[in-house]
């Protein structure tokens, strides 16, 4: 694939993310099968089936991401929560530098947004600029 096409594809993946279909068990709980190793809350997690749910329902923002197969997981603190319920429960991953980062969780309660680690954001910026020249063509 040529560099301009790679840059466009990379940008589209970053903008739209990779939506991974999920099912809701309880209100606000999502179960999803993730086909890639990914990063969530600073921890690298293997591909598999994960449950994402709030730690408690008394207003605390923490989420628990846990593998159904291995028990691997961790806690996340979302940077934003939109109280508009999602029609389809799903999680979204962003691909940056060949790694996948959990960045959005859509539930029947609303949508949680997870910040991209600063190192991944820097890498995305560098990769995007390497794909184009200053004159706009290669």
How crowded is the C-beta side of 7, counted as CA atoms within 13 Å?
Answer: 15
The per-residue pLDDT for range 103-138, each reduced to its tens digit, is: 999 988 889 999 887 766 565 555 554 554 443 444
Local confidence band at 78 (pLDDT 50, 70, 90 cut-offs): very high
- Answer whether residue 137 is part of any domain: no
- Answer whether residue 138 is part of any domain: no
- Answer whether residue 98 is part of any domain: yes
- Answer whether residue 121 is part of any domain: yes
- Answer whether residue 86 is part of any domain: yes
Residue 55 pLDDT: 85
Pick the more confident residue, 130 or 69.
69
Cα angle 58, 60, 66 (rounded to 5 degrees) comes to 105
- Answer whether residue 134 is part of any domain: no
Pick the more confident residue, 79 or 125.
79
How many structural domains are present in the chain? 1
The per-residue pLDDT for range 4-51, each reduced to its tens digit, is: 555 444 444 444 444 555 444 555 689 999 999 998 888 889 999 999
Number of Cβ atoms within 10 Å of the Cβ of 86:
19
The per-residue pLDDT for range 91-100, each reduced to its tens digit, is: 999 888 888 9
- Answer whether residue 82 is part of any domain: yes
- Answer whether residue 131 is part of any domain: no
User: What is the domain extent for residue 55?
Assistant: 3-126
């Amino acid at each position: 694939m040529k560099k301009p096409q790679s840059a466009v594809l990379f940008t589209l993946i970053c903008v739209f993310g990779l939506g991974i279909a999920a099912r809701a068990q309880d209100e606000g709980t999502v179960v999803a099968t993730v086909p890639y190793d990914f990063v969530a809350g600073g921890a690298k997690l293997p591909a598999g089936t994960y449950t994402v749910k709030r730690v408690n329902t008394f207003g605390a923002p923490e989420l628990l991401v846990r593998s159904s197969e291995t028990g691997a997981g961790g806690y996340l603190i979302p940077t934003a929560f939109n109280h508009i319920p999602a029609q389809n429960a799903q999680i979204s991953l962003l691909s940056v530098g060949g790694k996948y980062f959990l960045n959005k969780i859509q539930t029947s309660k609303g949508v949680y947004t997870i910040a991209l680690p600063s190192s991944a954001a820097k890498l995305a910026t560098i990769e995007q600029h390497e794909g184009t020249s200053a004159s706009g063509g290669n």
